[in-house]
Chain A
């Protein structure tokens, strides 16, 4: 049985009918059409589906849509500002931190949440925070450089 829930995604409210077993990533991708969050494993292993829930990165493939009702969700589509790309997005573009791009949404959101909490992270802080986001293309180096380059 579907149930109507209210999701707040990127400051916009959506009323959606969801099944009890529907994951947040499926709802935001296929019901809301926000396809920036990717599905690399659907088991919580890769981080490509990362979204921010109340500011914290979560694997949205492990969150049931119903659990997200009433929480504040931010996806990659929601972090651009009026002045264009968010500084973390800009840094990823400038530093060559994006290759195939399949991990990028998750990486950028995880990095943003780190920088929101800790504007001057050490390299080890960056490595620890982003270690749940897998990337097979870059070897991570340009990603680390991008995060480092974002100044508060």
Chain B
């Protein structure tokens, strides 16, 4: 039995009934009176110099209300990391990838807007394009951005300990190179937005975004509007996974068109545009050299990584740091050296996707660790347990594992999968493999330098009592955060979940950095708890005065006031309450004093009762360059076992089942924790087995749809056994921390290790298509 009344249980999500009945409103379900429709002109060439843009024909088309280009938008640079703002709303001198934005049109309907786009004439001079890392880094390669010669967007060099010296002390040193492919997040709802610039000069943008706050700031900066006149509101969002975690061109263009026309403007990406906008997982090429002692002690890791970044920086500066820093744990590793390079290419920009920067690195290393364990004749579970960090350990790059159930996770999957009776004992074509991983519970610092709180929450009691209204600017994008915060507020106030109503996703409600880096449960959760405690205290303070009972002798539980000591006569308060509400059906007649009555009495004494909460992490991390990336108040961790069957004739892999343990601190909503765990596995499984955004030699995405870009269907997903390993995270609200991204870390390497167990060949490139697996089997047979 849980010691909690609301959290740490299986709650039905607040938004589920609306979503089950089609009543939940997403961006494309919205309309505003007089609304226009926008469309974008995007480059058909991967690299070209713009000579002239002629919009005259488009402007003359009946029904067209505005056509805008860089001339109207200006050339203010923006992006994600202020250190690398390299985009403008529209291209003016060059286009740098197929899909780069050149102009936008608003018209009375979409067909007219699209026709107008086709009437815009752009004269340009095609330039040679670089479509992969080697081409981009070659001597004399065409340069995308003049400020970045050699097309190096960012490089990172970091060393902790002395890797070369440490490797010399090792008994076994192994080097491997590993490659993943560019992935697309493939959320089912394409991005869309609706901009409304009103007659008083206020701009409201409704958008399918994960980060209303950052979008608000970008709009204000690029469109040169005072921030107080910009509001961003997020309706229900159909998934984001990182890609919707920054302002996009369409949002900016819709706002500009609304400002020009004085009308609301709606714009949507088609599925193809989702792919050409990109901003999802990079392609990484990792080379890792790991050294260990005979007894299995990991001593050093030398790591080099190249990222194919696409045409702009997007989140990539953080990505290139993360892909190094996230190997600091969960194993004790005293010496680590990292050299990372993010390279510009003439393709859509890559950005952040679930498990930001760490997924391919983790896949490479966890497979290599298995190879090393095999050479040492150690069981992979024992090898990992030997090196595992525990709560209180700090990584060589200064990440503090304030709680860490990694050991418990490994033990849970080992026992839960019957590992001991299967490992090394399965017939040819069947295999079992395991892997681990961890992730931040929220980035330790905002994307822009600031002392801002990362989240603020307001709880207001309805004046007639009875309900707590929660206002948070955080972003419910499908992960279940609204329900999580309602549960936290209910728990902290001592009221029932049904007595809480919650509104979120609106920059008018406060500051919240949004849904990325798995931050909301811990950070927004803290603010929600503090706001709830504030309200509770205000109510109890009034009661204390009215009844002459010390606050310490009272509590609120289950929406009733509890007097801890003697019976207290509150009949006077009850009579007052009932007098105020003559004729109401729910007036309390007998029984204990209700929270509703107490809230009304508090209002009569003080006016509206509003509590506020806020959170920002303490100073975190080391002092070296880039030390901020990877810091977090807490880390979630995961271990998984995959079991696979490989058809030795065709190379076809079937994942038979996954056993998945995750330490999420204290689970707030158990159902949602499991949902994140299984969802993470499915995204990892897709990347492991089939997902790859492919290009032709002109830089066009050739599989920009959901039939040729394959994500797992119900027939591909195995049954997953989720095991929640709880810990009590000292920095989390009620001990809670992340689950949404740590849970994807072990999936790919667990499958890789299982495939090796099944076929006896290591594969160092994703995805594990039948061709690739079959080829690997053949190559290996030839060698023998």
Contact = CB atoms under 8 A, between A and B. Distances in A.
Contacts of A36: 21-23
Interface string B1-26: 00000000010110111111111111
A142 B675 contact: yes
A68 interface: no
A7 interface: no
Contact of A102 (B239, B714, B717): B239
Interface string A29-41: 1000011111111
Interface string B702-714: 0001110001111
A85 B190 contact: no
A101 B185 contact: no
Interface string B504-525: 0000000000000000000000
B351 to A, nearest CB: 17
A100 B478 contact: yes
B678 A35 contact: no
Contacts of B717: 139-141
A131 B713 contact: yes
B393 interface: no
A144 interface: yes
B683 interface: yes
Contacts of A85: 17, 20-21
A111 B31 CA distance: 30
A77 interface: yes
A43 B271 contact: yes
A46 B188 contact: yes
Nearest to B479: A99
A134 B706 contact: yes
B614 to A, nearest CB: 28
**How many of chain B's residues touch chain A, expressed as a range?**
35 or more
Contact of A100 (B186, B189, B680): B189
Contact of A43 (B16, B187, B672, B707): B707
Nearest to B682: A139
Interface string A64-83: 00000000000111001000
Interface string B226-246: 000000000011110100000
Contacts of A137: 239, 478, 675, 679
A117 interface: no
Contacts of A100: 187-189, 236-239, 477-478
Contact of A96 (B24, B26, B674): B674
Contacts of B375: none
Interface string A103-142: 1110010000000000000000011101111111111111
Nearest to B18: A101
Give chain A's interface secondary structure class. loop
B679 A38 contact: no
Nearest to A102: B238
B29 A35 contact: yes
Contact of B675 (A38, A76, A99): A99
A92 B18 CA distance: 11
Interface string B120-135: 0000000000000000
B719 interface: yes
A95 B696 CA distance: 43
A96 B20 CA distance: 11
B133 to A, nearest CB: 28
A100 B187 CA distance: 9
Contacts of B186: 134, 136
A75 B715 contact: no
Please name the 4 residue pairs, one residue from A and one from B, whose CB atoms are nearest each other, closest first: A36-B22, A100-B478, A102-B238, A101-B19
22 contacts: A34-B22, A39-B28, A41-B705, A42-B270, A77-B22, A93-B20, A96-B12, A100-B189, A101-B24, A101-B236, A127-B715, A131-B715, A136-B186, A136-B188, A136-B239, A136-B711, A139-B681, A140-B712, A140-B717, A141-B717, A141-B719, A142-B678
